[in-house]
Amino acid sequence: MTPSRRAVLAAMAGGALAGCAGPQSTVSRGASVTGSPSAPAAIATGRGTPGSSPSATAPSASRAVTRADIVARYGHAVPHTWGFDAPAVVHALPTTGRVIALTFDACGGPGGSGYDRALIDFLRRRDIPATLFINSRWIDANPAIFRRLAAEPLFEIANHGTRHRPLSVTGRSAYGIPGTRSAAEVYDEISGNQTKLTRLLGTPPRFFRSGTAYCDDVAARIVTALGERFVSFSVNGDGGATFTPEQVRTTVAAAPGGSIVICHMNHPRGGTARGITAAVPQLLATGHSFTRLSDAVH
């Protein structure tokens, strides 16, 4: 283990990633590339078509996977992992080139249904693509804003769950947020918002991130069974919406190529917008580009 990797893991041990649960301490995690490192990435430097890449894990068109199916298959499965790492979880882009995926969570619920207009307007002005992980409660609180974001090819909409719960089959919690307690509740957390997004977008979302980004390995398999890919992160860009603008700038500007950066778009009073506004030009000046997840993860 390299010294830098050891330092990152030490920082992660005491960190927080609950962007709608109030101020928390900071966290970073090390980069971990999933899939083949040599796989080509289709890099978006501007606008594209959302969902243009077919999902390799989509369920059969002949019959949707039901709650009963999930309970029958996973109801007695025993998890062996808990945290940000589980089999099939995507932590980074399948490339070592100078491309970065900016992802922004909108968590919803009490204290988490704000809208960082300054952040989104900056991305629009600079034509920076991003993937937006949006919770069902945030959609309910911001229907008009959601409709506009969903209509913009610059942004890709992804599933951030129904109630913003850590994804567990045994009720484990993260940062004081209770997790789902069974395979049935995992199904509900994923499919409730999946159904809503499919209705609103006309096509199902390809990617899922749980509240806090925590999951166990059984829950991660359920995400795959429901036709989505669980996406974690390799760089925590705003410390669960607690970083100052300078902390966001230094963290995001230091992101290596292939990073998936997690930040938040539901805390307009935080430091995310100003930090991103400062970091993105630095990255562009050093030859980096930006991509939506669907244009790089296949």
Residue 127: what pLDDT? 98
Residue 111: what pLDDT? 83
Query: 3-state DSSP helix/strand/coil percent for the chain, to nearest 5?
Result: 35, 15, 50
Q: Which two tokens stand for residue 283?
A: 């990255």
Tokens 């919770």 belong to 135
In degrees, rounded to 5, the angle at the alpha carbon of residue 166 between the alpha carbons of residues 163 and 183 is 85
Span of 17-21, 107-111, 165-169 with lowest mean pLDDT: 17-21
pLDDT per residue over 30-84, tens digit each?
A: 333 333 222 323 333 333 333 333 333 444 445 799 999 999 999 999 999 999 9
Other residues' Cβ atoms within 10 Å of the Cβ of residue 207: 23
Q: How confident is the model at residue 96 (pLDDT cuts 50, 70, 90)?
A: confident
Kindly tell me if the per-residue pLDDT of 20 is higher than 80: no
Name the nearest CA neighbour of 267 among 20, 18, 15, 26. 20
Average pLDDT over residues 181-200: 98
Q: How far apart are CA 82 and CA 219, in angstroms?
A: 10
Give the distance from CA 55 to its chain's centroid.
Answer: 17
CA distances in angstroms from 145 to 20, 80, 117, 211, 250, listed in the order given: 18, 40, 10, 21, 29
Q: What burial class does residue 6 get, using C-beta atoms within 10 Å of its C-beta: 0-12 exposed, 13-18 middle, 19+ buried?
A: exposed
- Amino acid found at 223: V
pLDDT per residue over 165-180, tens digit each?
A: 999 999 999 999 999 9
| Whole-number average pLDDT of the chain | 85
Q: Beta strands 215-216 and 82-83: pairing type?
A: antiparallel
Q: How far apart are CA 272 and CA 104, in angstroms?
A: 10
Name the nearest CA neighbour of 207 among 44, 58, 41. 58
Kindly tell me if the per-residue pLDDT of 19 is higher than 80: no
Tokens 């101020």 belong to 23
Percent of the chain with pLDDT over 90: 77
Residue 18: what pLDDT? 60
DSSP H/E element including 30: none
Question: How far is it between the farthest Cα atoms of the chain?
Answer: 52
pLDDT per residue over 232-260, tens digit each?
A: 999 999 999 999 999 999 999 999 999 99
pTM: 0.83
Q: How far apart are CA 41 and CA 39, in angstroms?
A: 6
Residue 59: what pLDDT? 46
Residue 123: what pLDDT? 98
Residue 298: what pLDDT? 86
Residues linked to residue 216 through DSSP beta bridges, in sequence order: 82
Q: Which two tokens stand for residue 242?
A: 């607690």
